[in-house]
Amino acid sequence: MSDEDKNPEDEFTEMLRQFLSGNSDLDPSKLASAAGLPSDPAAVAQLMQQLQKAMQHTGDGVDWKVALEAAQEIAAKDAVVISPASRSALEQALHVAELWLDEVTYVAELAATPRLLSRKEWATATMPVWTQLAEPVALSIADALTRVLKEQAPEELSGMMASASQLMRNIGGALFAMQLGQVVGQLSTEVVSGGDVGIPLLSEQQAALVPQNLDAFGEGLDIPVDQVQLYLSVREIAHARLFRHAKWLRLHMISSITEFARGISIDTDRLEELASGFDPSNPEELRQAMVSGALIPPKSDSQLQALARLETTLALVEGWVDVVTAAATVRLPKRDAVAETVRRRRATGGPAESAFSTLVGLELRPRRLREAAAMWQAVTDAVGAEMRDSLWSHPDLVPTSDDIDDPAALVARLLAGVPEPDEMDQAIEDFFREEEGGGAGDEPNPV
């Protein structure tokens, strides 16, 4: 075949294949480093394998199997099998937690039995939500990378880059997916339960504990292990029961996050600057830009407003869980010590949460948690648990940011009487109940 007959896309694809098969002067470890991934031989080999798969991917979206496989591999390292005695103790703690919550709440009971998950099982079960939250950003980065590479390519390669745009988009998406897999895999070694990060990661309002991480949580606290297990079991079941009771809440929260993520744009000027001066032998500047979030520009006014609403919802959920958990665990002598450990841990977060915030531009920790908890406590003291929990029955009744600022005004309104949702709102609520299967599990529990 003559040079004139060569297809630029085929030529570029062959060049990539040569690189990915190792028949190139370029060092694959440099690419791994630039992507913010480990550069040890095993990680580099995995990266090359995933990029080869990306070349064969024919869909428009990101191949999220890459993220799942990366997360599962990290989660499976240093795995500890739960002993029969520990399993029995945790199952008993979860059972007691249900009974204690029945005494202090009017929210629906769980339809499914709480689960005990390994780290790998947690990563697998939660990955669908993580990919849903991250996909808008992944597509934005992949599109921006493709556009910048086209613009920065030498003139003699411009036709080649234009022809291979889908291929480059797939590779950019694969790199992002691997980074997300690293984040979720690391999170699987830190979280103690399904609702530990605040958002509802498990479907069907499932409650779950991660025994290996729960054991690590209790190390060095000088608190009896059974009290730690009971306290964290109550927190997890309270969180899951709230989302089962307020059937609109999970969709509202996840939709708010994805709406926020869709508004994220990529700083192409910064990306072009990095691309034009990129030194393959020293990828540190590009790596720092990717892992620090420098490619995501400051939030727009609409994004800031959406973020404020989301933070309010997160704070309301976590504050309610705190208040209910405190009431349900009055029998535990070390309740306050465990609660303080939870608060400190939640305030600081972990390295994986920091990585997710830079990857997607979203902090998961609500800043107004203490104020929200104080508001829920004031409501409980003034009108009781039944009216407090009835506020979750419809989005129009849920307290607002202003209510967190002024709990006394909220209490005054509640004492004056809460307006009922109109007929349309009630029809929507009834629809959600039917979708969930309804039944006795949806009835409030008597105090």
pLDDT per residue over 295-329, tens digit each?
666 677 777 787 888 889 989 999 999 999 999 99
Residue percentage of the chain with pLDDT more than 90:
40
Tokens of 75: 């989660």
Tell me what pLDDT residue 302 has. Answer: 75
Tell me what pLDDT residue 2 has. Answer: 47
Q: Residues 105-136, buried b or exposed e (16+ Cβ, 10 A)?
A: bbbbbbeeebbbbbbbbbbbbbbebbbebbbb
Residue for token pair 């009431």: 327
The answer to which of 135-149, 250-264, 279-293 has the lowest mean pLDDT is 279-293
How does the average pLDDT of the chain come out, rounded?
78
Number of Cβ atoms within 10 Å of the Cβ of 46: 20
Given phi > 0 = left and psi -120 to 50 = alpha, else beta, which region is 349? left
pLDDT digits (tens, 9 = 90+) for 329-346: 999 999 999 999 998 888
Alpha helix segments (H runs only) across 188-248: 211-218, 225-245
More confidently predicted of 264 and 279: 264
Tokens of 360: 């997607």
CA distance 391 to 414: 10
Tell me what pLDDT residue 15 has. Answer: 47
Q: What is the pTM of this model?
A: 0.77
Q: What is the mean pLDDT of residues 75-104?
A: 95
Residues 6+ apart with CB under 8 A from 259: 306
Residue 103: is its pLDDT beyond 80?
A: yes
Instruction: Enumerate helices (H) and strands (E) in the chain, giving the number of each.
Output: 20, 2
First to last CA, the chain: 83
Residue for token pair 């995995």: 46
Which of 195, 204, 205, 277 lies closest to 241 in space, CA to CA? 205
3-state secondary structure (DSSP) of residue 209: strand
pLDDT digits (tens, 9 = 90+) for 141-196: 777 766 766 666 556 555 655 555 666 667 667 777 888 888 899 999 999 999 88
Q: What is the mean pLDDT of residues 400-425?
A: 82
Tell me what pLDDT residue 421 has. Answer: 54
Residue 67: is its pLDDT beyond 70?
A: yes
The answer to which of 30-39, 89-98, 399-408, 429-438 has the lowest mean pLDDT is 30-39
The answer to which of 12-16, 46-50, 54-58, 270-274 has the lowest mean pLDDT is 12-16
Confidence of residue 372 (pLDDT cuts 50, 70, 90): very high
Say if residues 35 and 178 touch (Cβ distance below 8 Å): yes
Tell me what pLDDT residue 158 has. Answer: 59
Tokens of 113: 């039995």
Tell me what pLDDT residue 358 has. Answer: 66
Confidence of residue 121 (pLDDT cuts 50, 70, 90): very high
Which of 362, 281, 286, 377 lies closest to 324 in space, CA to CA? 377
Tokens of 101: 């919550």
Tell me what pLDDT residue 444 has. Answer: 45
More confidently predicted of 276 and 221: 221
CA distance 75 to 122: 9
Alpha helix segments (H runs only) across 153-164: 158-163
Q: What is the mean pLDDT of residues 98-116?
A: 94
* Overall size of the chain counted in residues: 447
pLDDT digits (tens, 9 = 90+) for 17-32: 554 444 545 455 555 5
Residue for token pair 């959406």: 306
Surface-to-core class of residue 61, CB atoms within 10 Å of its CB (0-12 exposed, 13-18 middle, 19+ buried): middle
3-state secondary structure (DSSP) of residue 104: coil
More confidently predicted of 364 and 215: 215
Tell me what pLDDT residue 154 has. Answer: 59
CA distance 335 to 331: 8
CA distance 105 to 238: 9
Tokens of 160: 């080649």
Q: Enter the DSSP assignment of 330.
A: T
pLDDT digits (tens, 9 = 90+) for 192-249: 999 888 888 987 778 999 999 999 998 888 899 999 999 999 999 999 999 999 989 9
Say if residues 29 and 282 touch (Cβ distance below 8 Å): no
Phi, psi of 298 (to 5 degrees): -55, 150
Per the DSSP assignment, residues forming a β-bridge with 208 are: 115
Number of Cβ atoms within 10 Å of the Cβ of 402: 10
Which of 47, 52, 27 lies closest to 280 in space, CA to CA? 27
| Residue at 327: amino acid letter | A
Q: What is the mean pLDDT of residues 380-391?
A: 96
Phi, psi of 62 (to 5 degrees): -80, 140
| Residue at 164: amino acid letter | A
Confidence of residue 100 (pLDDT cuts 50, 70, 90): very high
Residue 412: is its pLDDT beyond 60?
A: yes
Say if residues 408 and 375 touch (Cβ distance below 8 Å): no
Q: What is the mean pLDDT of residues 96-100?
A: 97
What sign does the dihedral 138-142-145-148 (CA atoms) show?
negative
Residue 9: is its pLDDT beyond 90?
A: no
Residue 10: is its pLDDT beyond 60?
A: no
Residue 367: is its pLDDT beyond 70?
A: yes
Say if residues 134 and 257 touch (Cβ distance below 8 Å): no
